[in-house]
Chain A
Amino acid sequence: MTAPLLSVKDLVVTYGSRKNAVQAVAGVSFEVMEGETLGLVGESGCGKSTTGRAILQLERASSGSVEFDGEELTGLTRGEMRTRRRKLQMLFQDPISSLNPRRKIKNIVAEPLIIWGEADEAKRETLVNEMLLEVGIDPALAGDRYPREFSGGQCQRISIARSLVANPKLLVCDEMVSALDVSVQAQIINLLTDLKKKHNLTLLFIAHDLAVVKNVSDRVAVMYLGRLCELGPSDDLYAHPLHPYTEALLSAAVVPDPDVQLSHTTLEGEPPSPINPPSGCRFRTRCPSAQTRCAEEVPELREVRPGHQVACHFPLSTTHVAIGESPNAQ
């Protein structure tokens, strides 16, 4: 974890024409260090998926920069971007629909190799078979079958094999375990953790599930209505949130243990429309500690504790504890 592999600066993504323009991402900056997992968490419509897609240039940024491995990506043409995608791969929520239903598993996983010009067919086959074995799919049994013959969890394994077969550096995972049952979800999280170590991967892990994000991430960024509220080391951020929104999110989460009483500060209402966002701090309309300054001045992300940034004029006290480290947590 030395140099940033990915740095995103003042990223803005706008949908729609001038009149009905929506800033889905409204000025987001963060870095992902080499070998690190950065979690990006937030509720529906906060812009977390758009951020991930804009990094891969699947959505074009209106302004701002995305620098990957020392190269600016935002100005690249489609053709140029295509060659860079060997190093940047994305995993999606619905693994079944992200696999071509008419192609055999072995051809799906081999496709990146064909695109990147691994011409030797025998070598391709070896690589594909190795990769399938690594994700726990038997190539002898599965290679000639089609995606519909596999369960959601198995399809996600095949998607992982396809994304890793050409040896990428960065994986953007967008809600990749959200549709899976909890026992399968645990299998995929463990698999991803192991593969990350083995292939020295860097991950941007986008999800809405706070517990899943905490589990896989070294650092976590919290997003609300197109902006980052808070970014910090996972354990610190979850134990001592600085932003009132982070605190509200954490207290709304459920724990499978009737004896763990989370502080219960239920947030009223729902996020406002991004078409017409509130002035100043975007969270102020729902914030229990909002003051006049919050309506007038946009809070910038600033470092309050080592490595822990918050975008709030009145961050929560640093001695504040939202969740005690539960003694029976393992």
Chain B
Amino acid sequence: MTTVTTRQVASDNIVVVENLSTTFATPRGSLTAVNNVSLTIQRGMSLGIVGESGSGKTVLSRSIIGLLPPSNMTQTGSATINGNQIIGVAHKELLKLWGSEVAMIFQDPMTALTPTRRVGDQIAESLRINLKMSKKDAKAKAIDLLRQVGIPSPERRSRAYPNQLSGGMRQRVMIAIAIACGPEFLVADEPTTGLDVTVQAQVLDLISELRREANLTMILVTHDLGVVATRTDNVAVMYAGRIVEQAPTKELFARVAMPYTKGLLDSTPRIDAPSHTRLSSIEGRPPDLVNPPAGCPFAPRCTLAQDLCHKEAPALVASTLDPDHLFACHYPLNGHAAQPQGA
């Protein structure tokens, strides 16, 4: 349902990122965690950002909403949400967006919630600040929200402290805080990592349901290709700070272009594959981002790499098979080829 309505207003991009780079100063030298990333997200759509540890997926998602501390960090390029510039903007300006237009769900709800405050008060806080609600109204609305995210006996639970709730419950509270002020854009960073599989299914179902109701736009950051497969409209695969492949979810899984994405898929054990299926692993490790390799960052681990790959980094280009399928590879798989420039 959402997909149909959003397709009709195809030009309505809520998130526009252009040539965004985020570099940290480290004792060993400067580390480019996000390297020249451009992307757009249409209103109501969800983008999955997938990658392994250190691929830059979390830094990218936080850069987009301005959530990185400015110390030791430089950023170039631009990111806008609903036309509001995020990069290089004062903290005071960003505060107006956070909560009301943009919200975030973090991986670890235990550390993201304040341990010494009742969860009801923590939900009410953003209502009082952003929506200027009275104390009484905010309290009632907080209980309402707890009910909405499926917490049983919400009146009683609103008086609980985070340590009195299970991991799944705490994540539901985080979601209640995130949606409290009716944001349009939600960033969920590994929202179900660390949760049990049955609880993960419950939380993902809840997020999908809330998104449908409010036509929320979402970035879902995860290391798990299984989570993005059924929960997102588009997927971007990150490696060494760059987007190396991006496509509508079904298209990506059906016709992988980039050897790294294929490697990730092939090394994931599958519940629907017979027992003792040999996994094909990717040898080696991701490059050191302080001293990145000259050519394609994946070339040192790629079994298909040729001379060109070690010399020249491939740009993210559209495929001739599907203009929405982007890849950064000199020798793409499955019959993909770069569209000629200017086409």
Contact = CB atoms under 8 A, between A and B. Distances in A.
Interface stretch (A103-111, A127-135, A213-221, A299-307): A213-221
Nearest to B52: A181
B211 interface: no
Given A215-B275, A259-B253, A182 B268 contact: yes
A33 interface: no
Contact of A330 (B250, B273, B282): B273
Interface in A247-263: 248-260
Given A215-B277, A254-B230, A256-B229, A266 B53 contact: no
Contacts of A120: none
B277 A208 contact: no
Contacts of B275: 214-218, 234-235, 238
Contact of B270 (A151, A211, A250): A211
Contacts of B224: 254, 256
Interface stretch (B132-140, B178-186, B194-202, B333-341): B194-202
B267 A183 contact: yes
B223 to A, nearest CB: 7
B226 A266 contact: no
Nearest to B284: A183
B271 interface: yes
A185 B281 CA distance: 8
A151 B53 CA distance: 12
A119 interface: no
B160 interface: no
A43 B226 contact: no
B263 interface: yes
A186 B226 contact: no
B275 to A, nearest CB: 4
Contacts of B201: 251-252, 264, 266-267
B21 interface: no
B53 to A, nearest CB: 5
Interface string A56-67: 000000000000
A43 B229 contact: no
Contacts of B280: 186
A83 interface: no
Contacts of B250: 258-259
A190 interface: yes
A283 B225 CA distance: 30
B302 to A, nearest CB: 12
Contacts of B270: 211, 255-257, 326, 329
28 contacts: A182-B264, A183-B263, A185-B267, A186-B267, A186-B269, A190-B278, A193-B278, A210-B197, A211-B269, A211-B270, A214-B271, A214-B275, A215-B275, A234-B275, A235-B274, A238-B275, A249-B197, A253-B271, A254-B200, A256-B225, A257-B229, A257-B270, A258-B249, A267-B198, A267-B202, A323-B271, A325-B274, A326-B272
